[in-house]
Amino acid sequence: MEKHTDLTEELDQDALEAQQMEGIRDWVSKNLDGEVLEITRLERWRPQWKVSYSADGKTKAVLFRGNRSIAGKQDLKFEMEVMQSLEANGIKVPHIHGWVDSPKAFVMDWIDTEDRAPGMLHTAIDNPSTMSDERWQAMLHYMDHLAKIHAVPVSEFTHIRRLSHPPQTATEIALHTTERMHSVGTQVGNVDAPLAFLQCWLRRNVPEHRTKASFIAGDAGQFMSAGTDVLALLDFEIANIGDTHWDLACFRGRHPYENMGDIPALYRRYAEITGTEVDLPVVGYHTVAFLQLSAIGATFFMNPNAKGGNWIEGVLEYASITRRAYEAIAELQGITLDYDLHLPEPAIKRWEDSGLQKLMVDIEQLQTSSTFQPWERDLLHAIPDFLLNHARYRDWFEKETVVDINQLTGQSCTDLAAADEAALEVIAANDSAHDEVWVRIMHRRILRFSMVIAGTDPDDENPLFYKLDPILGG
């Protein structure tokens, strides 16, 4: 049963870091004619390094942006090519200096700005995002830049492989992004009943009047600022050709984990700049689409074989994002949701309780280093912390979920796996007559799962339970 690895894995990690640092120094020397002064790895779910170097008697800095552990082989080059096209069309993105093979990364200008939160839910729980007056003015200015992005001709991106065949019909424009993510998630078994229903709902509710395809940022609202000035736009890893209202939906999806301010005011600003009114129900539709894609994406964080990554962030995002997707549907269809749910007394499981608590104690004692930083130890500690709550409340969660599903399917399933199989069969029938009941059932399910994670009843002060801000009805 015992497995002795001695220091092999630690040495391998140290050797990998040494190789990466050497690669960075060599690239800066050859391509920027500089001497590296300092390399700092940033707290993100992907490897990124701020690199300070000396050249021409000046101290400068660049960002080496690496690939996520869950990313596809071409994702990083795709983002680099998108940013190069945007820069060529006058969009304010950091200048791209080039591609690096070791570590696999591309290099862009470092933008000096105020501290920017890493945009992760586990971070927001401890340090809620705030919006200063200056950042709000910069956010309004960002809408000008977003309008300019949307105005760049689609033809400027068709040389990029993933964007070479733009969608044509309203259905293609609305669905091609989510269909791709849904397909990939299904292939690896990451699409459960709540996520499957969302895709069926999206297929049935395509906004048929939206027939113009535009370049979209994909995860809009991310930029660097100083005071009220927008310095640079960034994070184009899921950029695409689609409906501009997808990007407007991103603000709702990210807020308030990452505080976006007054969302309706941002939409009014965008309408003023573009001269076209924002179609709020369409934004509502793409809110569901953006959140559905993000929730499936979060499940890939939980790949146990991916080196590094952020497993616990995947759990938190899956729970919160999926629930908010159902809140978006509820707003569009006038469905009342139930938040008056309560945890039972925890069922203490002797072995899980003891073993997981021991694991947390020992993780807290682990030594940190340049290859295993304190924030990485915190992420590791959060996994058994979640599993302890899951062990205590799992039976309650599964029983309540099975009861809900049985009521709709008419089955008498006794376990969650069988109930989910029955649910998937009904969902596949694609009958909109069941939508209202499904939305309530699935929302309760994900809300209960959030309660399991937090170990509390729904709490409006906890970012994990933040509700989606409404945009309809004035």
The mean pLDDT value for 118-130 works out to 63
Q: What is the pLDDT of residue 6?
A: 41
Q: How many CA atoms lie within 13 A of 465 on its CB side?
A: 20
Which residue, 12, 3, 1, is CA-closest to 372? 12
Whether 177 shows a pLDDT value over 50: the answer reads: yes
- Boundaries of every domain in the chain: 27-109, 299-474
- How do residues 92-122 score in pLDDT, each as one tens digit? 999 999 999 999 999 999 998 765 554 566 6
Whether 153 shows a pLDDT value over 80: the answer reads: yes
Mean per-residue pLDDT of the chain: 91
Whether 11 shows a pLDDT value over 60: the answer reads: no
Architecture of domain 27-109: 2-Layer Sandwich (3.30)
Is the pTM of the predicted complex or chain greater than 0.85? yes
Whether 2 shows a pLDDT value over 50: the answer reads: no
Q: What is the pLDDT of residue 3?
A: 43
Lowest mean pLDDT among 69-78, 143-152, 210-219, 263-272: 69-78
Task: For residue 223, list its beta bridge partners.
Answer: 233
Which residue, 202, 209, 138, is CA-closest to 176? 202
Helix, coil or strand: residue 147: helix
Q: What is the pLDDT of residue 192?
A: 96
Q: What is the pLDDT of residue 431?
A: 87
* The residue type at 403: V
- How do residues 322-362 score in pLDDT, each as one tens digit? 999 999 999 999 999 999 999 999 999 999 999 999 999 99
| CB 256 within 8 Å of CB 295 | no
- How do residues 222-248 score in pLDDT, each as one tens digit? 999 999 999 999 999 999 999 999 999
Q: What is the distance, to the nearest Å, from the Cα of residue 97 to the centroid of all Cα atoms in its chain?
A: 26
Q: What is the pLDDT of residue 430?
A: 87
Q: What is the pLDDT of residue 116?
A: 54
For strands 58-66 and 48-55, give the pairing.
antiparallel
Predicted confidence band of residue 251 (pLDDT cuts 50, 70, 90): very high
Q: How many CA atoms lie within 13 A of 421 on its CB side?
A: 7
Helix, coil or strand: residue 224: strand
Task: For residue 39, list its beta bridge partners.
Answer: 51
The mean pLDDT value for 166-172 works out to 97
| CB 442 within 8 Å of CB 107 | no
The mean pLDDT value for 201-211 works out to 98
Which residue, 8, 112, 101, is CA-closest to 52? 112
Phi, psi dihedrals of residue 103, rounded to the nearest 5°: -70, 155
